Structure 1
Amino acid sequence: MRVLRSIPKLRINKPDAIRTIVDVPFKLPEVTELKNNFKVCIFDGGIGDNHVISDWVNEIIPSDVTSSHPSYLTHGSEVCSAFLFGPYNHDTQTFSPPYSKVDLYRVISMTDSDPDLFDVLTRIEGVLKSREYKYANLSLGPHLAVDDDEVHVWTSVLDSILQDGHCLVTVAIGNDGDLEGEYARIQPPSDMVNCFSIGASDTEQPDWQRADYSCVGPGRSPGLVKPDGVIFGGSQSRPFELYSPLTHSVTGTAGTSFASPYALRVAAGIDSITNFDLKPSTIKALMIHHASNDGHHIKDVGWGRLPHSPEEVVQCLEDEAIIVYQGELNRSEHLRIPVPLPTNIDCTWVHLKATFCINAITDPEHPLHYTRSGLDITFRANEHKIKKEAKHASTKPFFTNNNLYQSEEELREDAYKWETCITRSQRFKRQTLENPIFDVKYHGREQGGDSLSDPTPLSYSLIISIRTQGNSNLYNTILQQNQTLQAVQVEPRIRL
């Protein structure tokens, strides 16, 4: 016998004990025309016919889904509502307007008898393979913790579909974070390296904590930093108050099932209010770039608490500028990315923050070498300071794995090369920076060794924020001195 493990069950919404009807007045947004060129889908238990939000939701029922259950419909409809409207606003007694319509796929049937949940996975796989959607959400999956020694079939199948970067999929990490030891770890397929795994915080206020039910990291290596981030998902003292389409009321609940579509709502909002064709990996990088850790352990919250609105992402501080790079790299190709720091900036300190996100080619047959593509990143602070012995611009470590998990395997020199997302901020004396650059090289390997057999290009996104203390004209100065940069126009929604 090679391995013995329990048969997984389908996780829907645990803890389901946190569920109350909130007796408050509310008003749904008016139906307006949405001018988006992207499509969004949610895979869940369906919504049924007893609802009033058909202007925003199109339910699709596969031919082999012949029956459902009230709990499936309740979960599916409320996950959909969390994406469309977000949480209830007590100040305005309303819900926020949707950024996009959504296709809701009913992928769960009461007649499904496969213990490995292949029926559910096959339905999801078929939709994602059509490459019709730019955004998707999964608030379901096998109810078991990840295994370091073996990649779960849900993870391997979906990761291989998403490795080309055509779709950003938010995945709930599970609600067993209050269990002990390994049982509290994230659950498949949230350990995918090509997804956006979402945990839950207990409040939207500055004194937030990880919700006690939200599962914890680490993920596998590579993919150690899991969840990617947390966002408000509700708690016993501060429930996630959402609109329930089946009861036409405000319901207080909690779970990563609702944090995940809430994060997807922010992602779709960023795309909706900007006039630039941002890649899915760029949207993910932007949200992680703006995550705030606030002193929490990385295994609990990943990169930190994610922004709750797209405006938090696209707005700069007065002395800050955010630069977005996105593109593709071919195998063994070298890329030099400039950090457009103006030459005449008068300040003492410069704060740089950089976030790289890629979509990696995966190899599920080798869990220890799961990703076959990665980036080798070198930061050069001063292009004119030449090392005599090396004959190239001096380098300075920018990304290190010191903030990852401390184990012998994880502290290998090249461990971070194979991570699909890395972010770091550093402070520099102004005089130490002279035309700083990032040198990036695409590395590929197969079964732990280098390989040139796969010509698939690697999709990358880099977010750089530059902040110069005391200089409020940074943004305009960068645009004036860098004519190749294009300003991203933002069309925020005006709310009275």
Structure 2
Amino acid sequence: MPGPRFLIGFGERLTEPVVPASSGSSTPAPYTVEQARQRIGSMMARTSDAADDLPDLACPGDLTVAVATLHPAYLSKSGHPTQLLATMQMTAVGSRPSVVVPSQQARRRTDEAGAEYIERFTPTDPRATTQLFLSTSRRNLREFAEHLTSTDRLTSNEYDIVKLEEFRLNTPADRRRLSAAEEGETVAELVLHQDSDLIFNGLIAYARSLDLVVELERRIQSGGMAFVPVKGTKEAIGALGGFSFTRAIRWMPRMRAQLDSEPLRGVSAQAFSPVLPDTEPVNSDLHVAVFDGGIPIGSPLARWVVNHTFPDSGPPDSEDVDHGHQVTSALLFGSIDSAQAAPVPYSYVDHYQVLDQDSESDPLELYTVIERIRSILGQRKYEFVNVSIGPDLPIEDDEIHAWTAFWDDHLSDGNTLATIATGNNGHLDRPSGNARIQVPADSVNAVGVGACDRTGTKWNRANYSAIGPGRSPGVVKPDVLAFGGSETEPFIVVDSAGIAEPLKGTSFAAPAALRAALGARTLFGDKLGPLDLKALLVHTAEGHGSSPATDIGHGRIASRLADMVICGNGEARVLYQGVLTPAKYLRAQIPLPSNLPAGSVQIKATLVYATAVDPADPGNYTRSGLDVTFRPHSGRYKNANQIHADPAQFFRGGGYETEAVLRRDAHKWDTVMHNKVSKRVTSLQNPVFDIHYNARQSGHATGTALPIRYSMVITVTHTKVSDLYEQILGAYATQLEALTPAVNISLDV
């Protein structure tokens, strides 16, 4: 009897470099140079007047920050006005996504004689665009405004003035994110555009005039920005919006309350003492990091867990310790079944107690916790991390939080798989955004995990599980759901006394998802890396009828390990692992045997990568992006001049229709691409994906990008060919190989 049809590896042997086709004609300018000069010149003159009215304390070194709104036709990296900004002596210090109705648009037309001309017209619908924050001196701003409004001849670089739609001063109203606050002294988080000594010294002087305390030594710096705690009255904090280099000022968020970490009331669950294994983990060389509330002395989990504290740790907090114990139990065993013994853990756990009794009284607990996490990750590299804590803060489309920037930066090399709980606020008001996923589950390099309510076939998003969308790019959030428990079917963990405890929460769904990935890693050993496991989690997730991606992301993770790593009748799942070079094209062949019978072939593909990020540029957050072109039939060309076969649609932007994802090129910058299509056998001949690696920095082209690693999983299915797996392995015998297990473990978990 043949053995299991394990995941097929070495798909990268079916790849080869290709030469790109011509990029075609350029976008016509929406304005003539003279039109743009008159428009922007008058705007810049008004901006200069407003800047001259600012107090000197608000402008360190005479510098201020202006806002230039790009015309929507110039959102791509090639459209960035890099040379214009250099000529204007203005430095881009960040950006923010926005929406604008441009005064004029342009398109190419052909007249009756066949001659091409440019038609300019007035649009009526709003378009997604980007606002650039520009640092410049007030003197330079005045001089360039005078230059534009004069009769001086413009240089060729200045012709790019046609790319700007609006120009104005950044105002205090743009910066304040302050809702009502209690009277008296409070704490806020100040986000600065730049992290230079000049700006820091200017901030200290400005804050001193307001009688504010700036905790500069506690600042978090990321991507050229600085996140700085500030203490003072709410009126004084609000006045910080007048400092030119304030990007945002908001009340300091607290850590999330440990919702649903207590036993569920009214839940019918028979009390029992779980039977825990009496053995070391399956992979005794593997250690997973958990950052949470701690593990109590004498815990029944002590055989597999080491609890770590910090030199500045206070006494453990009982509720936080309970939460830490519950999360760790979920990682070790999943939800425990009363009818059988708990499974053997896949790995050891290093549990870092980043919360303690002092956390609640520490107004800067967010900074304390992230400092502790940073100290560990700076010393030791973990392949697997779980985070079920974070700020009590739903994400925003136009700002990146320090927690998100930290995790994305740490995960940018693709060497770590981090699962992050999305939050238990999904039952709150949707229109206000209060039900949206919480920081840092918006990390594009992590796996944001929401919760479903059941383990069986009839499941839904758990009502408490935070919803999407995420920020573009990264709009499909949560990435996946995992079982997190409900009143109907609780998530069962072992408590510190060794008794079963029924719970619910995304705090347990996240480690459960990581445990599923650890199962595949344990089975195949180091043949599967963190990126491969992320791709497999998404690829094998199951959808839920008409449930939108805002609720379930890419779906619920596979119910059993076998569903991730075993191919069924009529299907073959192939893993591609490799490296992409900036600006180059890679062709990946989709394996199919010849002489398939009539019918339909389903092709499902998931492509993931990790990337460096630009926290100061939320609209251009990821520095790496992939253009992926599906070419289903190598013999079909629309015209004789083509060098590549006709393309067909495959990957899309997640089904969202919000302004946040209407950007023309937004989807290519998403670190997870996933979709499936069905094609008739007659429409397939040597099908391929052509993958083009784009690189950018702060929204514009860069020549310093490094190669990135990618992982792609493709499943092909033909219901009339039960031995499709064997046929593909036979057809590609010198290239593809089935992965062989490194250990013998149960696949029915």
With the length of structure 2 as denominator, give the TM-score of the two structures: 0.64
Aligned to 1:154: 403
For the aligned residue pairs, the C-alpha RMSD in angstroms reads 1.8
2:344 aligned residue (97, 115, 130):
97
Is 1:258 the counterpart of 2:505 in the alignment? no
- Which structure has the bigger radius of gyration? 2
Give, in angstroms, the shift of residue 12 of structure 1.
4.8
The one-letter amino acid paired with 2:477 is: K
Cα separation, 2, equivalents of 1:492 and 1:465: 25
2:573 aligned residue (305, 322, 325):
322
Unaligned runs of 5+ in 2: 1-171, 179-249
Aligned to 1:73: 321
* Residues 91-120 of structure 1: per-residue CA shift (max 9 Å, x gap): 32x222211111111111222424361110
The one-letter amino acid paired with 1:95 is: A
Is 1:19 the counterpart of 2:264 in the alignment? yes
Cα separation, 2, equivalents of 1:52 and 1:408: 50
1:126 aligned residue (354, 370, 375):
375
1:61-460 matched pairs, under 5 angstroms:
61-92=309-340, 94-112=341-359, 113-115=362-364, 117-181=366-430, 182-244=433-495, 246-295=496-545, 296-387=547-638, 388-401=640-653, 403-454=654-705, 456-460=706-710
Shift of the 279–446 alpha-carbon distance from structure 1 to 2, 3 Å rule, reads: same
Question: Is the 8 Å Cα contact of residues 12 and 139 (structure 1) preserved in structure 2?
Answer: no
The one-letter amino acid paired with 2:350 is: D
Question: Is the 8 Å Cα contact of residues 270 and 311 (structure 1) preserved in structure 2?
Answer: no
* Residues 46-92 of structure 1: per-residue CA shift (max 9 Å, x gap): 10212122221111112221321111111101100000011121332
* Residues 329-349 of structure 1: per-residue CA shift (max 9 Å, x gap): 121121111111111333411
Cα separation, 2, equivalents of 1:110 and 1:247: 21
Cα separation, 2, equivalents of 1:203 and 1:223: 26
Give, in angstroms, the shift of residue 275 of structure 1.
4.2
Give, in angstroms, the shift of residue 473 of structure 1.
1.5
Cα separation, 2, equivalents of 1:38 and 1:327: 24
Is 1:8 the counterpart of 2:257 in the alignment? no
Shift of the 312–13 alpha-carbon distance from structure 1 to 2, 3 Å rule, reads: farther
Give, in angstroms, the shift of residue 386 of structure 1.
3.4
Question: Is the 8 Å Cα contact of residues 129 and 161 (structure 1) preserved in structure 2?
Answer: no
Cα separation, 1, equivalents of 2:677 and 2:365: 45
Which segment drifts farther, 16-25 or 232-241?
16-25
Cα separation, 2, equivalents of 1:495 and 1:325: 23
The one-letter amino acid paired with 1:241 is: I
How many residue pairs get aligned? The number is: 492
Cα separation, 1, equivalents of 2:684 and 2:626: 23
The one-letter amino acid paired with 1:151 is: I
Give, in angstroms, the shift of residue 451 of structure 1.
1.3
Give, in angstroms, the shift of residue 16 of structure 1.
4.1
Give, in angstroms, the shift of residue 310 of structure 1.
2.0
* Residues 440-464 of structure 1: per-residue CA shift (max 9 Å, x gap): 011011222221123x221211000
Shift of the 52–378 alpha-carbon distance from structure 1 to 2, 3 Å rule, reads: same
Give, in angstroms, the shift of residue 278 of structure 1.
1.2
* Residues 277-314 of structure 1: per-residue CA shift (max 9 Å, x gap): 21211101111111111121110111111123322200
Shift of the 44–12 alpha-carbon distance from structure 1 to 2, 3 Å rule, reads: farther
Poorly superposed stretches of 4+, deviation over 6 Å = none
Question: Is the 8 Å Cα contact of residues 107 and 120 (structure 1) preserved in structure 2?
Answer: yes
Cα separation, 1, equivalents of 2:660 and 2:442: 18
Shift of the 310–128 alpha-carbon distance from structure 1 to 2, 3 Å rule, reads: farther
* Residues 456-493 of structure 1: per-residue CA shift (max 9 Å, x gap): 22121100001112112111221122111121113552
Cα separation, 2, equivalents of 1:355 and 1:451: 27
Secondary structure of the structure 1 residue equivalent to 2:646: strand
Is 1:56 the counterpart of 2:304 in the alignment? yes
Cα separation, 1, equivalents of 2:263 and 2:553: 25
Question: Is the 8 Å Cα contact of residues 378 and 395 (structure 1) preserved in structure 2?
Answer: yes
The one-letter amino acid paired with 1:416 is: H
% identical aligned pairs: 37
Secondary structure of the structure 1 residue equivalent to 2:455: coil
Cα separation, 2, equivalents of 1:374 and 1:360: 9
Question: Is the 8 Å Cα contact of residues 384 and 434 (structure 1) preserved in structure 2?
Answer: yes
Is 1:472 the counterpart of 2:717 in the alignment? no
Question: Is the 8 Å Cα contact of residues 15 and 213 (structure 1) preserved in structure 2?
Answer: no
Question: Is the 8 Å Cα contact of residues 7 and 116 (structure 1) preserved in structure 2?
Answer: no
Cα separation, 1, equivalents of 2:308 and 2:560: 28
Secondary structure of the structure 2 residue equivalent to 1:357: strand
Give, in angstroms, the shift of residue 276 of structure 1.
4.9
With the length of structure 1 as denominator, give the TM-score of the two structures: 0.95
Cα separation, 1, equivalents of 2:484 and 2:713: 27
Unaligned runs of 5+ in 1: none
